[in-house]
Structure 1
Amino acid sequence: MAHNAAGRRIRKRRLKADINVVPYIDVMLVLLIIFMVTAPLLNLGVDIELPQTNAKPIEQKKEPVVVSVDPEGHLFLTLQGAEQEALSAEQLSAKVGAFVQSNPDVPVFIQGDRKANYEVVIDAMVLLQNAGVPKVGLMSQPGEAIQR
């Protein structure tokens, strides 16, 4: 053992080989909370501008089922080339549901008037999906592409 001039023992300090991880854990938890709060905010409010073009018509093997919405919000049904008939929402749902169940591959489209309320067109889409229609398409008139 080593002694100093006063006769006291000198202790050699042992080196500590451990890493103190408590500050790192604190930093990690703070970062975790920050990312948990900000991650949902990153997906909200994304502004996109969809392209405007002339779409080519879809070629169908079967005659489609067409649900029309007039400017007043009334619903009309045309089943594979038959006469167009005015129906209530319940009648439309029952008729289209039964027809699509017997013909599952038939295409179903909604033809909304340009002056029709957008909410009525969306309600018609939801009505058709609740009736068992797997895919609903929207019809439009061909027009000129917007020049930029």
Structure 2
Amino acid sequence: MGIQLDSGPTVKRHNYQQNAEINITPFVDVILVLLIIFMVAAPLATVDVPVDLPSNAATPSPLPTEPVYISVQTDGQLFVQEQAVTLQHLAEVTHGVTARNLETRLFLRGDQAVEYGTLMRVMNTLQKAGYARISLVAAEELEP
């Protein structure tokens, strides 16, 4: 006589396919929250600290007695001081006005309607001639 032990009903496992895709929605949510936190915190990190700076005992460098202006009119006509020049002779005339001092600061004035390319050609010509200190001149904007 033998006893047969029954382990109960057999559990059938379902044969589901595994999902190999990663759900990135929670990841995107976390990244967006971090982005918002950093956007709020970034301006707080650049706090302007008031500092009482010491005075400078050195005398300021003197302004040039005769500033050298290079002007470009609307029609593209060039002037060194009040002397009309062509782009080909710009370097020669500028050397004459500055006595070949390449450290002289040149002030480039251009009309509002002058093309950007024209101003760049003038600046490139002056830089090729050896002048590295070229400043652009603008009119002060008056507040209403």
Task: Give the TM-score normalised by structure 2.
Answer: 0.51
Q: Percent identity of the aligned residues?
A: 26
Report deviation, 1:96.
Answer: 1.2
- AA aligned to 1:142 is E
String of CA shifts for 1:13-67, please: whole Å, max 9, x gaps: xxxxxxxxxxxxxxxxxxxxxxxxxxxxxxxxxxxxxxxxxxxxxx723322111
Partner of residue 109 from structure 1, selected from 104, 107, 110: 107
CA–CA distance in structure 2, aligned partners of residues 107 and 69 of structure 1:
17
Contact 2:109 / 2:138 at 8 angstroms: preserved in 1?
yes
Say whether 1:71 aligns with 2:74: yes
- AA aligned to 1:62 is T
Does 1 or 2 have the higher relative contact order (CA < 8 Å, sep 6+)?
1
Partner of residue 122 from structure 2, selected from 111, 124, 127: 124
String of CA shifts for 1:79-137, please: whole Å, max 9, x gaps: xxxxx011111211112134446334421011000011111011110011011112111
CA–CA distance in structure 1, aligned partners of residues 65 and 103 of structure 2:
8
Contact 1:69 / 1:113 at 8 angstroms: preserved in 2?
yes
Listed as ranges, the gaps of 5+ residues in structure 2 are 1-61
Larger Rg: 2
User: How many equivalent pairs are there?
Assistant: 83
Contact 1:93 / 1:127 at 8 angstroms: preserved in 2?
yes
